[in-house]
Structure 1
């Protein structure tokens, strides 16, 4: 269900899960609360939240490999627990690549959809582990007019408040290879084409935040549309070389 967290409030996530499975998701009624849950779930915890009761929770390790501070959170009162025979309980270590990628994956679809509205030439989007699956976002676009990079970056910031750095590159750059992204930045980034957003909402556990407020930067590392530069082609002319003639064999 976590991967569906960006669905609208009026969309039944069980319907979406059934669509992904290609068949209806079988549900079963809970024992102590008026809800239905997947029939073949491993463990089901039933209960309720008393809005008047809160207790200190944390500190916990967070996605950025740092500890978050303790906070007062609502208390869940458990009323029942059911499970399959020999249930599987999956856990991950906070701040690891696995944790970061699980957080990034559900964000990517929503970011892609909104960025595509800003510029139809958007080809792909990636939130790398180096940005903890939250802070950084790389997008490749096939630019048709100048300025589309800025529009795409603005769409990303408006979609996900956790994103602090957006990098826009051309469609021939492999955004899943950070060396290629850095090469594009070092070749084509013009500081006057980048923009900074101050006093923006960010992640509450971002170490740069002040009362939840952060600064964000968008980096346009796309080539100008009228650029005459070409990447070196080391294979050019190789088919014309006859080593037998060169070495006399």
Structure 2
């Protein structure tokens, strides 16, 4: 992605300048806000209740200690499908299955990163070490009323202990009172595996918390890739140019960090040590229960001049879309490759973008929709309900999907419950059952046909030519 001059967009600031003239997409707040006292999320909640999803840039925020922070704050950046479509080099109208398919294409377009020197890396324009390197200087957000405290919500970077690859995965950091240590909630399979492999060696190991970057960086980090993939390369495919890296200030060339990030926390995880994290209002709009999590000790904080801290509005549309769109693309490509019949895959807001999946397909025989549903569940185990509809049903229109479910599905033969499939990382107080619904029109018996107005007749009508002007008298 390039800016107005044709130069590559490398930073969060580059992207914000591009959308700054669109009030429907981007708003600023100049009054001073206290992120710890819920003033950030209260404003975002107010917008959400009015079905408004602008990205919001807070120009004047207090830090964790209640003092004016030198850092600005932005949140809600990923809260609409049209905005994400543009981030993925599509038209803002490409918000249906083409969005997930484009995401899948970019996953395969890996670009090798470029290494630059510390002296020209924007993120190292300012370096804090020792007692100065405290997370308390940040305008960290407390999201929901029962949260344990303010939480950093962006991604962490870890490296294989023997292999030369970097994993970039979203995980939360809960800073302690002094801001020099923090608990990291590691739940994903890749980070959990890296944690086990490092801790088995019994020594401290590097971890980096990236607290702001270009949207392409984050979308690339969410790609579903095999363990061992160098995700710095995957991110380059989403940026459309090499991700610039630079040696870390703590470990030098042994650990490279994103040079165009806004803020980076460099730290080391203490093997075997755990601290309390959570409760935290999560993707399901429920609180995660308290648990013990690995401890990171801060070694350095680096940041560009004028840095902006980035946050995700947890448990709301931004949070849901960041997870659902990568899964839609990955799942659609997988199902299409294995069945050749899938038209669209959608993970709706009603299922928090995680737990419910709608699949539209061209059915070749009775029983095939159930096969597709099982394949989807095997690919994305977190799904709780999978509903399969015909290709003439819009998987992105929940009303259409529910119509097909209520009209076509026979509860006796088309609804199946699979038992004992609970995921160990699923914190909801549920059993381990999954629901599969075949909501396609039966073809093995006489069955009414869905009505429609002839498409040719509909296409021939131009509303602006047929309807009278609104200012014309009665």
Fold equivalence (TM over 0.5): yes
Q: Deviations over 1:43-73 (max 9, x none)?
A: 1111111121001111111111111110000
Partner of residue 113, structure 1: 333
| Alpha-carbon distance in structure 1 between the residues aligned to 2:277 and 2:437 | 37
Deviates more, 1:114-123 or 1:56-65: 114-123
**By how many angstroms is 1:84 displaced?**
1.0
How far does residue 228 in structure 1 lie from its aligned partner after superposition?
A: 5.5
1:83 corresponds in structure 2 to: 303
Given candidates 167, 171, 186, the residue that maps to 2:387 is 167
- 1:58-98 Cα offsets, whole Å, 9 max, x none, are 11111111111100000011111111111121213321122
More deviation, 144-153/167-176 = 144-153
Counterpart mapping for 1:204-219 below 5 A: 204-209=426-431, 214-219=432-437
SS at match of 1:44: strand
Name the counterpart of 1:66: 286
Q: What is the TM-score normalised by the length of structure 1?
A: 0.86
Q: Is the 8 A contact 1:166 1:219 kept in 2?
A: yes
1:233 and 2:452 aligned:
yes
CA distance in 1, matches of 2:370, 2:354: 20
4+ residue segments displaced more than 4 Å: 234-239
SS in 1 for 2:281: coil
Gaps of 5+ in 1: 240-249
Range with greater deviation from structure 2 (64-73 or 187-196): 187-196
Equivalent residues in 2 for 1:10-159, closer than 5 Å: 10-33=228-251, 34-159=254-379
Aligned position for 1:200: 421
In 2, Cα distance between equivalents of 1:109 and 1:37? 28
* Structure 2 runs not aligned, ≥5 long: 1-216, 459-474
RMSD over aligned Cα, in angstroms?
Answer: 2.2
Q: Which has the higher contact order (CA 8 A, sep 6+)?
A: 2
User: How far is 1:18 from its partner?
Assistant: 1.8
State TM-score, norm by structure 2.
Answer: 0.47
Q: Output the CA distance in 1 between the equivalents of 2:442 and 2:428.
A: 34
The verdict on how the C-alpha distance between 1:184 and 1:81 changes in structure 2, with shifts beyond 3 A counting, is same
What is the rounded CA distance, in whole Å, between the counterparts of 2:393 and 2:266 in structure 1?
48
